[in-house]
Amino acid sequence: MPMVPKRLKPYAMIAPALAVFSLFYLYPIGYMIHLSFHEWNFISPEKTYVGLGNYREMLADDVFLQVLRNSALYTVMTVLLATGTALPLALWLNRKSGFHAFVQGAIFSPHIISLVSVSLLWSWLMDPEYGLLNGLLHPLGIGPLKWLNDPDTALLSLVIVAVWKNLGYNTIVFIAGLQSIPPELLEAAALDRSKPWTTFRRIILPMLSPTLFFLVIINLIGSFQVFETIAIMTQGGPVNSTNTLVYYIYEYGFRYFKIGHASAAGVILLVIVGTLTLVYFRLLSRRVHYR
């Protein structure tokens, strides 16, 4: 083996990983930022420099503002529901019995199903005329609901699908968090005459805060990037009521071939997700850590 100077050795070691990372992450991000200042249609050999033109055009676009609103609304609802339901579910499922193990497995199974299948499945379930959901709601005197076909309920319908898909994963992570709480702590609390609610609020919840925080951030980032369900179930409609950032980027890039415009929207997404990630690492190193 040829001698590599000791000082260079670490760099040589990470070079392969760094090369792949640069080629597939850094370069595309840089190129995207570059493209966002140009007008280009994917095919023409020349790109026209337009400065901040794409950004100006985008921010003046009512549809883009609605897209941002939709993304935010979708994200907030998904995160609240998917983590908010997973916690009580985890508290209930955190015990050893065949039944609880079965329920755990059952609610986790959506996580391993492809999103495309999930989307198709829920499109059928939510079909206004033949769907199972309306069939079940009808005897209760509810409906018929139009689900994905009504601008007022379409986004919420997608939220339901996302919650259904993510709930199992969140629950399992919560259960793992619960199981990492030393049992003596709960015993000590029992000897301290702590009531169940007090134990939950003063001991379980604080001990669970790193888990809770992790899930909120992961769900936030994931929700901001929602694409498959929208592409398959609604194509952003009706009347843009389910059009979100990634779908918007896709439409501009690969349907209208306005690469510059799509790249500008991509930069906005990068800023949002980047900020969330930064917040996550900042807070993780500071608060919510006890051991």
Partner 1 sequence: MARIDLIDVVKQFKGETVISKLNLTIREGSFTVLVGPSGCGKTTTLRMIAGLERQTSGDILIDGACVNDVEPGKRDVAMVFQNYALYPNMTVRENIEFGLKNRGVPRHERERLVRDICEIVDLTPYLDKKPQSLSGGQRQRVALARAMVKKPKVFILDEPLSNLDAKLRVQMRTELIELHRRLGTTFVYVTHDQTEAMSMGDRIVVMRRGEIMQAAAPMELYDDPDNLFTAQFIGTPPMNVFPMNLLPNLGTEGEGRAEYVGFRPEHARLLPGSADPPSDGLAIAGSIITRESLGAEHVYQLRTTAGTFFVKQFLRPYAGGDFATAVVPHDRLYFFDGEGRRLRNLRAASRPEPAAAGVR
Using CB under 8 A as the criterion, which residues of the chain lie in contact with partner 1 when the complex forms? 182, 184-185, 187-195, 198, 202-203, 206-207, 290-291
- CB atoms near residue 122 (< 10 Å): 23
C-alpha distances in Å from residue 6, one per residue of 2, 10, 11, 19: 12, 8, 10, 21
Which residue, 6 or 291, has its beta carbon nearer to partner 1?
291
Q: Minimum distance between the CB of residue 103 and partner 1, rounded to whole angstroms?
A: 23
* Comparison of 210 and 222: residue with beta carbon closer to partner 1: 210
Residue 84 CB, nearest distance to partner 1 (Å)?
Answer: 21
Nearer residue to partner 1 within complex by CB, 255 or 287 = 287
Tell me the C-alpha distance between 255 and 107, whole Å: 37
Q: Residue 97 Cβ, how far from partner 1 at the closest point, in Å?
A: 14
Nearest-angstrom CA–CA distance, 185 and 281: 28
Nearer of residues 1 and 191 to partner 1, judged by Cβ: 191
How does DSSP classify residue 148?
A: G
The least distance separating partner 1 from the CB of residue 207, rounded to whole angstroms, comes to: 7
Q: Which amino acid is at 9?
A: K
Q: Is the Cβ of residue 14 or residue 187 nearer to partner 1 in the bound state?
A: 187
* Cβ 195 to partner 1 shortest distance, Å: 7
Q: Which is nearer to partner 1, 15 or 188 (CB)?
A: 188
Q: How far apart are CA 194 and CA 64, in angstroms?
A: 52
Query: Phi and psi (nearest 5°) for 77?
Result: -65, -45
Residue 198 CB, shortest distance to partner 1, in Å, is 7
Following DSSP, what letter does each residue of 247-291 receive, concatenated?
HHHHHHHHTS--HHHHHHHHHHHHHHHHHHHHHHHHHHHHSS---
